[in-house]
Structure 1
Amino acid sequence: MCDAFIPLLQLSDSPRIVNVSSFMGQLKNLLNEWAKGILSDTENLTEERIDQVINQLLNDLKEDTVKTKDWAKVMSAYVVSKAGLNGYTRILAKKHPEFRVNSVCPGFVKTDMNFKTGVLSVEEGASSPVRLALLPHRESPSGCFFDRKQVSEF
């Protein structure tokens, strides 16, 4: 979807992309060393390399070898999808230095996905992505991961 909007964003004097991610997508939650190595290699990270990691996870899911390949402690598909999104954020930021491209974990929000067990309301969760989208362009970092309002490690 980002690629489809790039031409429109280029018309703006302050183009930005805010990807909604999760703290679960931080590389410390990815236990598979092969996948972690690919996603942490920022100099050589490409969309194709992210696809390679995701396709390997899908293959391991089909073969029921996810646990033996030690992808993550819980919710492997979620962890890998969010880690991939965070990697894609870095790629886009590097590819479009005139943009501000970041990913953000909105916090543990009460959603259907977690059966409303989150601690933040939807409105509270929305505040972090909206804040990033509205920061003054010149003062905004790019290629970062935010845990709510703080820059955090990928």
Structure 2
Amino acid sequence: MEGAISKPPYTRRIAVVTGGNKGIGLEVCRQLASDGVTVVLTARDEKRGADAVEKLKALGLCDILFHQLEITDSSSIAALADFLKTRFGRLDILVNNAAVSGVEHVQEVDTNEEKFNGMDLNQRLEWVLKNIRDTVDGAKKSIQTNYYGTKHVIDTLLPLLQSSNGGRIANVTSAYGLLRRINNEEIRQELDDIENLTEERLDELLGKFLKDFEADALEMHGWPVGLAAYKVAKAAMNAYSRILARRNRALRINCVHPGYVKTDMSMSSGVLTPEEGARSVVNVALLPDGGPTGAYFAMGQEASFV
């Protein structure tokens, strides 16, 4: 309409961080906001998410907003996309941090971190594996959340990232998602053959994993055990990230392992602080134009998916 006043474009970069209310996610939000990025902190629980935003604002970081997000709920993801489109018209950075372990604790966890004094990294990992139990329901939840939930978030927000002049996706992964964790050579090769791997084939492989899990046949078919579904879901998301990077050359789409961090998921057995782990994630989220895409970063260095 003639004489209408147009809304000026939003000039600051906009980032969405999933699972942003605690641990690595909260620290990613803090560091991005400190770097001058407008951060949309998301979490399943509205109170915890809103409290996290207030905690960051108390540090003097004002350009942070909260939006509820349950990554396994398509309506929740759609609501976030509508909010971003209406408020900003685009998205510059997506950090997919939300995840579940998909396991049960075999006993009440001792929260005293002093028990880890004198333990090296491998001993700490062994302690965790002795104190958890894989379950069928947990495995299904892990695959549904860590792979399909994250994938649905990416697919829904992709048009907004494509509207950015320099869209970035940083998928928080784990060394547990490396292909060496899978003993089945045929499956390893398929997951590494990015030129021929399809989303449909990934669905088939994940379906086969869950079928083998229910049949108590993981080792027989070369799947990992001990945090089995977490490892397979992360391996699948690594593969999907590489597929997506090939399709979207204008974006920077990468996977980043923050290291073994002291979080609820690691039962506080990690060797790094959330601040240290988040720095690796933020560095990948803020890669310069022309930087790597379809890559895996571990502890700040580009590395192999194998």
TM above 0.5, yes or no, is: yes
| Counterpart residue identity of residue 244, structure 2 | L
Instruction: For 1:146 and 1:49, locate their aligned partners in 2 and report how far apart those are by CA, in whole Å.
Output: 25
- The C-alpha deviation readout for 1:50-99, integer Å capped at 9, x for no partner, is 11111111001111111222212532212111110110110110010000
Partner residue of 1:143?
294
Alignment of 1:37-76 (within 5 A): 37-76=189-228
Give the one of 129, 145, 154 matched to 1:2: 154
Alignment of 1:96-115 (within 5 A): 96-115=248-267
Moved over 3 A (4+): none
Give the CA deviation at 1:107. Answer: 0.2
Partner residue of 2:185?
33
Instruction: For 1:35 and 1:70, locate their aligned partners in 2 and report how far apart those are by CA, in whole Å.
Output: 9
5+ residue gaps in structure 2? 1-152
Instruction: For 2:256 and 2:223, locate their aligned partners in 1 and report how far apart those are by CA, in whole Å.
Output: 22
Report the structure number with the largest CA radius of gyration. 2
Give the CA deviation at 1:130. Answer: 0.6
5+ residue gaps in structure 1? none
- Residues 168 and 286, structure 2, Cα contact 8 Å, conserved in 1: no
Instruction: For 2:269 and 2:173, locate their aligned partners in 1 and report how far apart those are by CA, in whole Å.
Output: 18
Instruction: For 1:111 and 1:39, locate their aligned partners in 2 and report how far apart those are by CA, in whole Å.
Output: 29
TM score, norm. by length of structure 1: 0.94
Instruction: For 1:113 and 1:56, locate their aligned partners in 2 and report how far apart those are by CA, in whole Å.
Output: 26
Alignment of 1:108-127 (within 5 A): 108-127=260-279
The percent identity for this pair of structures is 44
- Residues 72 and 79, structure 1, Cα contact 8 Å, conserved in 2: yes
TM score, norm. by length of structure 2: 0.49
Instruction: For 1:36 and 1:53, locate their aligned partners in 2 and report how far apart those are by CA, in whole Å.
Output: 11
Partner residue of 1:152?
303
Instruction: For 1:61 and 1:72, locate their aligned partners in 2 and report how far apart those are by CA, in whole Å.
Output: 10
Partner residue of 2:173?
21
Does residue 129 of structure 1 match 2:281? yes
Give the CA deviation at 1:49. Answer: 1.4
Answer with 101-110 or 38-47: which moved more: 38-47
| Counterpart residue identity of residue 72, structure 1 | P
Q: Secondary structure at the match of 1:39?
A: helix
| Counterpart residue identity of residue 84, structure 1 | A
- Residues 31 and 73, structure 1, Cα contact 8 Å, conserved in 2: no
Instruction: For 1:118 and 1:29, locate their aligned partners in 2 and report how far apart those are by CA, in whole Å.
Output: 20
Instruction: For 1:67 and 1:10, locate their aligned partners in 2 and report how far apart those are by CA, in whole Å.
Output: 41
| Alpha-carbon spacing, 1:58–1:73, altered in 2? closer, same or farther (3 Å) | closer
Instruction: For 1:53 and 1:34, locate their aligned partners in 2 and report how far apart those are by CA, in whole Å.
Output: 11
Partner residue of 1:11?
163
Partner residue of 1:86?
238
Q: CA RMSD in A?
A: 1.1
Select the structure with the greater relative contact order (CA < 8 A; seq sep ≥ 6).
Answer: 1
- Residues 32 and 72, structure 1, Cα contact 8 Å, conserved in 2: no
- Residues 39 and 87, structure 1, Cα contact 8 Å, conserved in 2: yes
